[in-house]
Copies of this chain bind each other. A is one copy, B any other.
Amino acid sequence: MKFDSPPPEPLASAIGFLLAWNGQRIAYRFGEALRPLGLRRHHFGVLNLLDSRPGLTQQELVARSLIDASSMVGVLDELERLGLAERRPHPADRRKHAVHLTAAGRRKLAQARKVAVAVAEEILAPLGERERDELRVLLRKLAGLEADPAHGPR
């Protein structure tokens, strides 16, 4: 349905438009692919953050994501309801919660990552290995990140 046909010229010659179109396309496809797991993209982002930095507070999660504070409450509520994360008392400040993944959360994250790889594989099909490397380098630079950290995963 959506994003099934390439974008129309002359916009398709504009690099900014191409960036937006391709980006929204993969975001959309990933969102769809995540549905069977009972997750949305925001959940995936938070699971990743918690995996690499266990015990983050909600404010810290907000600062590291595009999710605002009030929406974060809802996202964490859902992750807790699904048994994937839990709010624990913060050792030093009773106002804060230290948020951690559960074992189920780590398993679900592993599943979701497989989905992400599959979607990327589908979307990136038109590009060869060399081209994908080029693209990653360019996109990292565009995002304000330094050069590849020793050839990351996908």
Which A residues fall within an 8 A CB radius of B?
Answer: 2-3, 5-27, 30, 45, 48-49, 52, 64, 66, 116, 119-120, 123-124, 126-127, 131-132, 134-136, 138-145, 148-149, 152-154
Q: If A131-B138, A131-B141, A154-B13 touch, does A19 touch B20 (CB 8 Å cutoff)?
A: no
User: Which chain B residue shows the least CB distance to A133?
Assistant: B15
Main secondary structure of the interface of A (DSSP, over half): helix
The smallest beta-carbon distance between A96 and chain B, in angstroms, is 20
Residues A153 and B10 in contact, CB atoms below 8 Å apart: yes
Partner of A8, one of B8, B18, B64: B64
A64 CA to B8 CA, complexed, in Å: 7
